[in-house]
Amino acid sequence: MIARLLRRPAAGRALSRLDQPEAIGLALALAIVAAIGWLASPFWLAVAIGAQLVLAGLGAVWLIGPAQVQLGFARYGTLASAAVALTLFGRLLIPSSGLIMAPVAAFVLWSVLRIELEVSRTGRAGVMLDLVLVVMVFGTAAGVGAIVPREAWPPGLLLVIVGTAIPAWRAAEARGRSGVEAVGQLVLHLIALGQIGAALALLQLPGVVGAAILALAFHAWSGAAEALDGGASARSVVIEFGALAVLGVVVALLLHAG
């Protein structure tokens, strides 16, 4: 029977995705820890996040394999950053959704790991990685905003910047940067996000609007840097991504006025 299943193209493709069952086990373990963080007090939330950093970090090194300079080193931290973002963001959804989000979290974390494994295999970062990084920034910013009071925005903003360091570093390496160049673009990216985050905190936008605008700014900065690396003129980059930034500012001001 198994032989007949393997001869079917669809079944073969499905089974080929299970070539590393350790990835599924790691995603399930991280999802369980995330669920604990959703229900726990702030102290145990910090403990859960620390456990995720250790578990996801070691698991990523084990599954992804030896370092490759051309692919960078931030890819070993992508899974841990995604797990932390899911833990923080999940606290927003638990009152309405309950623990039904735990299987969803496991699937999302498995998908993130699969994307990094595919990048390691092919050596090329695709659109899905860019989308994952943007969602990670949004989840981190929204989750921190739900935990830290708005009037205490400097510490909250600092936590968001720390939480977005890995996505920013990974975005720089996905653009082909490495070493000092990648770290330099990481610093510039975080400075830009810090400035935008401070402005959003002072506006005190409702709900997760500020987090969404910050994620949009993350994407815009990454896109502008990639366009410049690809040989686009500075003028075209300013027009294209500047218009996106202006749109975000207009939306923020309208929501603040409302």
Enumerate residues 6+ apart whose C-beta is below 8 A from 64: 75, 76, 116, 117, 120
Examine residue 13 and state whether it is found in any structural domain, yes or no: no
Regarding whether 116 and 206 lie in a shared domain, the answer is: no
Give the total residue count for the chain: 258
Q: Are 63 and 113 in contact (CB under 8 A)?
A: yes
The tally of CA atoms less than 13 A away on the side-chain side of residue 145 is 23
Examine residue 132 and state whether it is found in any structural domain, yes or no: no
Instruction: Identify the residue whose tokens are 């510039």.
Output: 188
Distance between CA 208 and CA 144 in Å, rounded? 10
Q: Are 83 and 30 in contact (CB under 8 A)?
A: yes
Domain count, the chain: 2
Structural domain of 181:
152-258
Q: What parts of the chain have a pLDDT lower than 70? A: 1-19, 95-99, 232-258
What pLDDT, on a 0 to 100 scale, did the predictor assign at position 14?
43
Examine residue 3 and state whether it is found in any structural domain, yes or no: no
pLDDT, tens digit (0-9, with 9 covering 90-100), for 104-149 = 999 999 999 999 998 888 877 778 899 999 999 999 999 998 888 8
Distance between CA 181 and CA 95 in Å, rounded? 43
pLDDT, tens digit (0-9, with 9 covering 90-100), for 138-158 = 999 999 988 888 777 788 899
DSSP 99: G
Instruction: Identify the residue whose tokens are 């570093």.
Output: 169
Instruction: Identify the residue whose tokens are 């905003």.
Output: 145
At residue 152, what is the residue type?
Answer: A
What pLDDT, on a 0 to 100 scale, did the predictor assign at position 179?
83
Regarding whether 165 and 120 lie in a shared domain, the answer is: no
Regarding whether 201 and 250 lie in a shared domain, the answer is: yes
What pLDDT, on a 0 to 100 scale, did the predictor assign at position 4?
47
What pLDDT, on a 0 to 100 scale, did the predictor assign at position 1?
40
What pLDDT, on a 0 to 100 scale, did the predictor assign at position 17?
47
Examine residue 29 and state whether it is found in any structural domain, yes or no: yes
Regarding whether 166 and 110 lie in a shared domain, the answer is: no
Regarding whether 211 and 116 lie in a shared domain, the answer is: no
Regarding whether 213 and 173 lie in a shared domain, the answer is: yes
Regarding whether 255 and 172 lie in a shared domain, the answer is: yes
What pLDDT, on a 0 to 100 scale, did the predictor assign at position 214?
92
What pLDDT, on a 0 to 100 scale, did the predictor assign at position 230?
73
What pLDDT, on a 0 to 100 scale, did the predictor assign at position 10?
47
What pLDDT, on a 0 to 100 scale, did the predictor assign at position 208?
85
